């Protein structure tokens, strides 16, 4: 399912237009991205949590030349699924 399909589902279940539903979907994802950029955790009850994790700098290897390279520190967004969703997937 992509953003358009999610918006179509939202529109059909709420009786709104597809354009309004698409705006709502885009706003939700933008809010999650903005919170993550600030380092905040986003918790959606019954669905899961988005957290920002810091990945330290490390040594890596260029697979073509086998030369050692430095991989800089970065931040990544992780998702932990809620128990309710996990149970729905497995049962």
Exposure string over 35-47, b if 16+ CB within 10 A, otherwise e: ebeeeeebeeeee
pLDDT at 61 over 90: yes
pLDDT of residue 91: 83
How far apart CA 26 and CA 16 sit, in angstroms, is 15
d(CA 7, CA 9): 5
pLDDT of residue 56: 97
pLDDT of 65 higher than 90: yes
């Amino acid at each position: 399912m992509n953003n358009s399909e999610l918006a179509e589902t939202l529109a059909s279940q709420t009786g709104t237009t597809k354009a309004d539903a698409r705006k709502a979907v885009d706003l939700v994802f933008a809010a999650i991205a903005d919170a993550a950029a600030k380092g905040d955790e986003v918790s959606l009850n019954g669905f899961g949590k988005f957290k920002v994790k810091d990945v330290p700098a490390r040594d890596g290897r260029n697979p073509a030349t086998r030369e050692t390279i430095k991989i800089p520190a970065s931040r990544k967004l992780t998702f932990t699924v809620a128990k309710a969703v996990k149970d729905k997937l497995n049962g």
